[in-house]
Chains A and B, each alone.
Chain A
Amino acid sequence: MLSTLLAAAIDGLMIGVVYGLVAMGLTLIFGVMNVINLAHGPVVVLGMFGVYLCFAQLGLPPYGGLLVVAVLGILLGVLIYFVAVHRVLNAPHLSSLLATFAVNMMIIGIGTSILSTNFRNVDYSLGTLRLGTIALTGTRLTAAGVALAITAALYLFLQRTRPGKYIRAVANNRQSAELMGIPSRRVLALAFGIGTMLAAMAGGLLATIQPFTILSGGVYELKSFVIVVLGGLGNPIGALVGGLILGLIEGLVPVFMRTTWVPVLEFVLFVLILLIRPQGLFGAKS
């Protein structure tokens, strides 16, 4: 029993880190510009397809494909920002929700017609690591490791680099930042690009673990909302911890009850947090 619990917890934590990465993109964008990005799910899927196409068509190993996805992700984010978000930034919340939802529908529509809704699979294996009775699959372990590395890089970027500091400044107070000579338009575009890149890269990592279709994004977007509410809206580190909690629930709950209870418990938690601690476990952006 103990080894089952341990295996379930480790599996859950590993996938939880990746969920955390997806949510981090969402929460970063919200933290900086108060936009809830409803195109987040489809971007995750585009990341999956990016890695898949690099692997299946160009023969690149999935982790090489991830770099391509990172570059394209940031460019896509900047594009989405200028096309759909920038103009409605100061409009009521509903406008940005509708604008990003429109982007969501466009990506899914174009994706469905080009890529069909068939399941895809990145058929790549890194073997299995055995620790006593616990078997850890290589791709899952690597995905968790890469997600942690990306999180660390994001932290360093935000804390130590000039553009990172700009982003934090704009997030804190856009008017003051502009008065200090920070080009807020470009900084916002960069922040949106980084948020999108995080989602796309997380998608690329998920593609090495699970099969997916062009419609798979909705699941990860929903999970991201739960995680973001758990960790506090606008708090990237909270998102990581929220992801780990969600992963643990997914891993451990099925040990004790039917797997069909997992989403029920996840959303009960979601509602409870909203009721009892709406700022999230780690505090929202003030």
Chain B
Amino acid sequence: MPRPIRILLGILILVIGLAGCAAPGGQAPAPTQPPAATPAPTQAPPTPTAAPPAPKTVTALVGFTASLTGKLNVESTRQTNGLQLWMKQVNEAGGIKLADGTVVKFEAKFYDDESNQDRVQELYTRLASEDKADFLISPYSSGLTAAASVIAEQYEKIMITTGAASDSNYKQGYTLVFQAYTPASKYLTGAVDLILATTPNLKRIAIVHENDKFSTDVANAAKRYAENKGFEVVLFEGYDSGTTDFAPIINKVQQAAPEAIIGGGHFQDGSTFARQLAEKQVPAEFLALLVAPPEPSFAELGDAAVGVIGPSQWEPLAAYTEASAKAAGLSWYGLSGADFTAAYQAAYGEEPSYHAAGGYAAGLILQAAIEKAGSLETAKVKEALDGMDMLTFFGHIKFDTTPEAHGLQIGHEMVYIQWQKDAGGHLVKQVVWPVEAKTADVIHPVR
């Protein structure tokens, strides 16, 4: 028997086998633990002739590229892991049952993009035209996603983007590209809200940021936001990407005498800045830096890490639950954060980072949209995505539907972590903002 027929037969048997025990209404997404020892399709016995008529099963092809090689390898691999975990769980749970009884299963088709924008354009074209993917998921990073978005729009394929925070991609007039991540412009605005909510009298804020596009965008947006909220930005200063000696900048910070310091850039400069601020004993109520603090290795700074706040797209600790959805008046969808963390850990042997959670969330968003649309048609799924307003373990998901910024994520908020000391004196990450996700109160002053 040719292989495709064997596989189809296997899937059919699997569907029939699972149909009996499927959750009513087909609303429940994946189970949190994959069912044990699902028989492999190729070893399945022949279909019993007496079985009830099987529901129609369709397979949706999900196309994407992964940076298996090149500089984005680490983050991209985690993102792909998250996405594949989602797919595995949905398929093992019997797929999605649509209102008309059709069962949708997913199949992944992906290539290595070598962290290279040119390859991305080529490969997404192949995914859309030759492989006839039904839906697309973005590669990792804003740069690669920008290249893929053009193709998605050109071939009229819906693309859920993840790992791509830059705002500008959603201001190109695209109609089929939907963002899972909080956009870059909002990376530090939550920190401003946090400061305002905790210490309404605080007025003087310093913004010190790396001079690259992402960090400068974030800093500019934070500056506008802070000034609108009545803060006085006493220092707005950029530093070169390779900076290792922050003493001149820190002297300037001290001269400006801010009450809060926000900014940073990436891991290395952010952690060095935090360390040298501590060595210079710069007093501050709050210190919030981009990218570096959520990384577990930030704890290597020891006491210099205590009190440092950092934005993260998602944290295993973030307490988004069915109850918090109810409290916020939103519908809840999908599995809990704890279940995701456990399943990911079981599958890959490490704690999921926000890149992994983002990959899973992209799949979850697609799943919710297909269920709501009751179809795989692009127009119907797009309509479902446009109307989406739900809370998941990853956070609130809602898209901008205005022509100016269609697909831009407007529901999801960053969670802000702070390094604190537990009762035993060990450094631990706590989620301190937003209120519905927090696991501890923010501590201040830092020094």
> Residues of A with Cβ closer than 8 Å to B?
1, 4, 7-8, 11-12, 15, 119, 121, 123, 125, 128, 130, 133, 135, 137, 139-140, 209-212, 216, 219, 250-251, 253-255, 258-260, 262-263
Contacts and interface: CB of A to CB of B under 8 A. Distances in A.
Given A128-B280, A135-B281, A251 B238 contact: no
A210 B246 CA distance: 9
A169 B162 CA distance: 68
Given A12-B248, A259-B238, A128 B255 contact: no
Contact of B254 (A7, A15, A250): A7
Contacts of B239: 259-260
B238 A258 contact: yes
B117 interface: no
Contact of B272 (A12, A125, A210): A210
30 contacts: A4-B251, A4-B255, A7-B251, A8-B251, A11-B248, A11-B251, A15-B245, A123-B300, A123-B302, A125-B279, A128-B280, A128-B281, A135-B282, A137-B276, A137-B279, A209-B245, A210-B244, A211-B271, A212-B244, A251-B247, A253-B248, A254-B252, A255-B252, A255-B255, A259-B237, A259-B238, A260-B211, A260-B239, A262-B248, A263-B240
B281 to A, nearest CB: 5
B73 interface: no
Given A8-B248, A15-B247, A259-B249, 20 more contacts: A4-B255, A7-B251, A7-B254, A8-B251, A121-B272, A123-B300, A125-B279, A130-B281, A135-B281, A140-B247, A210-B245, A216-B244, A250-B248, A251-B247, A251-B251, A254-B248, A255-B255, A259-B240, A260-B238, A262-B248
* In the complex, the 6 A-B pairs of residues with the closest C-beta atoms, listed nearest first: A254-B248, A210-B244, A4-B255, A11-B247, A137-B279, A8-B251
A259 B248 contact: yes
B318 to A, nearest CB: 28
B242 interface: yes
Contacts of B280: 128, 135, 137
A219 to B, nearest CB: 7
Nearest to B303: A125
Nearest to B243: A259
Contacts of A125: 279
Contacts of B336: none
B240 A260 contact: yes
Interface of chain B, main secondary structure: helix
B439 interface: no
Nearest to A256: B252
Contact of A219 (B242, B247, B302): B242
Contacts of B240: 259-260, 263
B84 interface: no
B439 to A, nearest CB: 28
A262 B245 CA distance: 13
Contact of B251 (A139, A140, A254, A258): A254
Contacts of B300: 121, 123
Contacts of B268: 119, 211
A211 B102 CA distance: 58
Contacts, number: 77
Contacts of B279: 125, 128, 135, 137, 139
Contact of A258 (B237, B247, B254): B237
A85 B155 CA distance: 61
Contacts of B281: 128, 130, 135
Contacts of A262: 248
B251 A255 contact: yes
Contacts of A211: 244, 268, 271-272
A17 to B, nearest CB: 14
Contacts of B245: 15, 209-210, 250
A253 B244 CA distance: 17
B252 A4 contact: yes
B90 to A, nearest CB: 37
Interface in B204-242: 211, 237-240, 242
A215 to B, nearest CB: 9
B304 to A, nearest CB: 9
A104 B271 CA distance: 29
Nearest to A127: B279
Contacts of B248: 8, 11-12, 250-251, 253-255, 259, 262
Contacts of B254: 4, 7, 133
A7 B302 CA distance: 26
Contacts of A219: 242
A260 B211 CA distance: 9
Contacts of B211: 260
A216 B272 CA distance: 15
B155 to A, nearest CB: 38
Contacts of B251: 4, 7-8, 11, 251, 254-255
B298 to A, nearest CB: 12
A186 to B, nearest CB: 38
A219 B242 CA distance: 10
- Greatest chain A CB density within 10 A among B239, B242, B245, B275 is at B245
Nearest to A6: B251
Contacts of A133: 254
Contacts of A250: 245, 248
Nearest to B211: A260
- Greatest chain B CB density within 10 A among A4, A210, A250, A259 is at A259
- Greatest chain A CB density within 10 A among B245, B248, B302 is at B248
A258 B236 CA distance: 10
Nearest to A123: B300
Contacts of B255: 1, 4, 255
Contacts of B276: 137
A3 to B, nearest CB: 8
A98 to B, nearest CB: 27
